[in-house]
Structure 1
Amino acid sequence: MKCDADTLAALQQIPEFDDKARARLVQFAEAVRDENRAQNLIAASSLDQIWSRHFLDSAQLLHHVPRGTGPWLDLGSGAGFPGLVAAILRPECDVRLVESRRRRIEWLERASVRLGLDNITVIGSRLEAAEGFTAGVISARAFAPLPKLLDISARFSTIETIWLLPKGRSAAQELDDLRGWRHTFHVEQSLTDPDAGIIVGTLAGKKVARA
């Protein structure tokens, strides 16, 4: 689970990637490897590429988030991507991880302690049941199709909230198909996959139907 030269070079373009963050990511990789023996956090075949497929894939989102923006709400955090990586790179940021599966909730709580992160809150419930608050950033990786994602999470957003939605190869199509919302979304190319995209932007709310 070593970090290859190209991935390391890309991570070094992120100002927050310092020696302390790197050491924590090494710990995180070890924790994922250990936990993967008990539950399938990530595909076993991707463990050797964890630095590129999971760490850099998560860390690249910080290019779109000015320092001081928060709190950061990560939907369906699962194994901790991108939420735990964001918390590692920005330890001053209030990061809140939403996860409804019991074993994943317990994993996120253990991982936060193991990594010495005191800026993490694990919200162990379905998003629909979570108490509302205003998020500065909302991220979601493989959480839900775009229309459903917006329907259930827009209540956490204002017109200033930054949305970061890695959507793989479906990003452009999902955005083209989106109807009924006022937004500034656009697609950024992923640094880890030339065919994958990240939907980035802000949301102003639902369009008002004309009589």
Structure 2
Amino acid sequence: MSASAKTTSSSARTGNIPIDPTGFVKLGAQLPALANILAQAINELSLPLSETQQRTLLLYLDQLLLWNKAYNLTAITDPEEALIKHVIDCLSIITHLPSGSLLDIGTGAGLPAVIIAICQPERQCTALDSNQKKIRFIKQISSELGLSNMQPIASRIEAHEASYDVVTSRAFASLIDFVEVAQPRLADNGYLCAMKGKAPSDEELQALDNDWHIKTIKLKVPRLHDSRHLIEMSAKNV
């Protein structure tokens, strides 16, 4: 996946965070402004991310946009919009996630799996998707970014057999459908964590209430005015 990038000896300075522009291809002149937006969002979310981790998040965004057409990764092509709606959106769940090994179902371009792996290097993350091209992108970007805690797997969830402490998803339209496919992969005392726009309907919650403890967390995503929620579920019969 390597691509030649314009290099410069100067650093793009964003507030107190210096971002070395070497290796960036798509962000270009927007890098300082984007780094500043990211730094402000990280501060608002109270995330303890190092300068290296912030740079890694921006490198992921750069590669996501660079290889978008080849891998069909996202419909969003504007760098600032992609930063907010993909990277910062996923950052908003980090402090709410239970600890332990994590499986991200229908991960697509690695959202939120890659973002979690960058922010929490101590956590083992598995990114699962049936789309071979998108998993190939995640494998390549994980190697380039040095994400030793990331395991990308090209498979349908029904064919995957391991179990995990936390199972996430950002792609399922139906909370009930997510629970149905994710529950078999959940370890004892584990948690299902579904990223949603609007909060689940009363009908969805009632359908799951007999078997699951359900916690709806309203998220505040910096610079994003759309509704965002994280639905955390743990089995009642454990």
Band the TM-score falls in, shorter-chain normalisation: 0.7 to 0.9
Cα distance change, pair 160–31 in 1 and its aligned pair in 2 (3 A) = same
Task: State how many pairs are aligned.
Answer: 203
Could you list the runs of 5+ residues in structure 1 that have no partner in the other structure?
A: 207-211
Tell me, in whole angstroms, the C-alpha distance in 1 between the residues paired with 2:131 and 2:194: 21
Tell me, in whole angstroms, the C-alpha distance in 1 between the residues paired with 2:172 and 2:196: 9
Q: Give 1:109's match in structure 2, choosing from 112, 116, 139.
A: 139
Tell me, in whole angstroms, the C-alpha distance in 1 between the residues paired with 2:148 and 2:215: 33
Structure 1 residue 189 corresponds to structure 2 residue 218: yes
Instruction: Work out whether residues 87 and 95 of structure 1, in 8 Å CA contact, stay in contact via their aligned partners in 2.
Output: yes
Tell me, in whole angstroms, the C-alpha distance in 1 between the residues paired with 2:50 and 2:92: 15
Question: Paired residue for 1:27?
Answer: 59
Instruction: Work out whether residues 171 and 198 of structure 1, in 8 Å CA contact, stay in contact via their aligned partners in 2.
Output: no
**Partner amino acid, structure 2, of 1:115:** L
Cα distance change, pair 174–14 in 1 and its aligned pair in 2 (3 A) = farther
**Partner amino acid, structure 1, of 2:87:** F
Deviations 1:39-98 (A, max 9, x none): 3211134543222211121112111135xx221111111011100000000111100111
Tell me, in whole angstroms, the C-alpha distance in 2 between the residues paired with 1:99 and 1:174: 28
Q: Give 1:10's match in structure 2, choosing from 41, 61, 84.
A: 41
Cα distance change, pair 162–9 in 1 and its aligned pair in 2 (3 A) = farther
State TM-score, norm by structure 2: 0.76
Cα distance change, pair 154–118 in 1 and its aligned pair in 2 (3 A) = same
Report the secondary structure of 2:161's partner residue: coil
- Note the C-alpha offset of 1:158: 4.0
Larger Rg: 2
Summarize the alignment of residues 62-211 of structure 1 with structure 2, pairs less than 5 Å apart: 62-66=94-98, 69-133=99-163, 135-158=164-187, 160-173=189-202, 175-179=204-208, 181-192=210-221, 193-204=225-236
State TM-score, norm by structure 1: 0.85
- Note the C-alpha offset of 1:179: 3.5
Deviates more, 1:138-147 or 1:101-110: 138-147
CA RMSD in angstroms comes to: 2.4
Structure 1 residue 57 corresponds to structure 2 residue 89: yes
Deviates more, 1:7-16 or 1:35-44: 7-16
Name the % identity: 23
Moved >6 Å (runs of 4+): none
Cα distance change, pair 124–195 in 1 and its aligned pair in 2 (3 A) = same
Cα distance change, pair 156–58 in 1 and its aligned pair in 2 (3 A) = same
Report the secondary structure of 2:34's partner residue: coil
